[in-house]
Chains A and B, each alone.
Chain A
């Protein structure tokens, strides 16, 4: 059978839901390497005939095909233990499917959601369902093992947060952005931005001119954004090994940030507040160690603006390193490690 298997190509179909779209990335794998890859984006999150036809056209090439999906169910998460006796301290896992990683931490998802996912994709079936926390740990495997830091996987409608200290998970949270009720602050910011937009558009550099913002606690320092840009010059950052990851340091990116739309700003700020809230939870909840986090590593699959990084640096005094991630390729990597 192994001999027969070696004669066939392996087809890895990787599916990621991104906002209102479904990205399908297909790899043909022969003799230990990817020989061909194809990608197609469907403007639906449901399985339609076009998608089934597209996937079937590739999987019919070989009986050895593996269809992987990134789990986006809102009931998923990760907990810093593999012991069943202590798992319930963090989450009731009786109705969850879970996987222990490195005998140190566990990621889980609801069994009902898993059944729902399998039912939704029954037209071609699924072989693997991966947790975004696995993706995060795999993507930052070079960082996770040797430092205490917050790791964030940014997706279009979700964020996966994990605090790792020398490969031991300390805290994790999965945030469904679309389902989170907007905080009053954010609503106020959006209202203000809309108002300013109506006048003549807004230059972020002139934010200090807006008096109303002074009332917003979390945006106290918005007016000093220009000054705070000088943080980029701090030795700690400039001498960092992750210089290449310090996204938006370039001139052109800075320009992009300065002209970013108010929608992007509010979206990034919304993300930031959600992360901030989650970090507060880590600091305040006695279940977690609450170690002080200095570094944030962001796996960015959506293309965030420079402001997102700046919020962390200015409001939480954290060093932020952003690394672009192609989720479909990371999913494919996980599928490879499962099969090969």
Chain B
């Protein structure tokens, strides 16, 4: 100071009003930045979720495809199982019928049920019992029946009966079954 005994007070361009205004604007700008940052984060998060969901979607699509193929396979299995069940039922009935066909005097030792044939092995007191009591019903069932005998040692005879069903005949029979 050249003339004055005292020094002037510090002067600042930032008055209380300006301080208030600056504070207000600072808070506003800060809030805007925070909102912007929040939106940026949300956008990033959303984008990440979209990628994740797309990946999941792809995986689920492939999974659905796999499931579909599995369902298809299971359906096929079901069809097959149903068919097998039917066939088994038929077979069971056939076996029951077969055993019903065998008279008490004849004893079976082996019965081989094949696709279009039946092979029976056993022992019979004699040929007549076999011919009348077993071969006759077999001939009514199968298209072709072949029998062979050989002695068992105690007067009885071992027999081997081979019975065939022709393909066309069996198919026709199957069709008839399906229609029923």
A interface, CB within 8 angstroms of B:
1, 4-5, 7-8, 63-66, 68, 71, 97-99, 101, 109, 114, 118, 125-131, 134, 138, 334, 337-339
Contact = CB atoms under 8 A, between A and B. Distances in A.
B5 A131 contact: yes
Contacts of A99: 1-5
A339 B1 CA distance: 9
Contact of B5 (A64, A65, A71, A339): A71
A64 B19 CA distance: 16
A65 B9 CA distance: 10
27 contacts: A5-B11, A63-B12, A63-B15, A66-B8, A71-B5, A97-B5, A97-B6, A99-B1, A99-B4, A99-B5, A114-B5, A114-B6, A125-B9, A126-B6, A127-B4, A127-B6, A127-B8, A128-B3, A128-B8, A129-B5, A130-B3, A130-B4, A130-B5, A131-B5, A134-B3, A338-B1, A339-B8
A334 B13 contact: no
A118 B13 contact: no
Contacts of A66: 8
A337 B14 CA distance: 24
Contacts of A138: 3
Nearest to B6: A129
Interface of B: 1-9, 11-15
Contacts of A98: 5
Given A8-B13, A63-B13, A99-B1, A338 B6 contact: no
A4 B4 contact: no
Nearest to A3: B13
A68 B12 CA distance: 18
A5 B15 CA distance: 12
A63 B11 contact: yes
A66 B7 CA distance: 11
5 closest A-B pairs by beta carbon, nearest first, are A127-B8, A4-B13, A128-B4, A134-B3, A97-B5
B12 to A, nearest CB: 6
- Which of B3, B5, B6, B8: most chain A Cβ within 10 A? B5
A334 B5 contact: no
Contacts of B5: 71, 97-99, 109, 114, 129-131
Contact of A64 (B3, B7, B11): B11
A127 B3 CA distance: 12
A338 B8 contact: yes
B3 A334 contact: yes
Contact of A1 (B1, B8, B13, B15): B13
A188 to B, nearest CB: 40
Nearest to A138: B3
A337 B19 CA distance: 30
A118 B4 contact: no
Contacts of A339: 8
A126 B5 CA distance: 11
A131 B13 contact: no
Contacts of B14: 63
B3 A338 contact: yes
Given A65-B11, A334-B3, 14 more contacts: A4-B13, A64-B13, A68-B4, A71-B5, A97-B5, A98-B5, A118-B6, A127-B4, A127-B7, A127-B9, A128-B1, A128-B4, A129-B4, A131-B5
A97 B6 CA distance: 9
A180 B5 CA distance: 26
A64 B11 CA distance: 6
Contacts of B2: 99, 337-338
A128 B11 CA distance: 13
A339 B8 CA distance: 9
A81 B107 CA distance: 159
Contacts of B1: 99, 128, 338
A7 B18 CA distance: 14
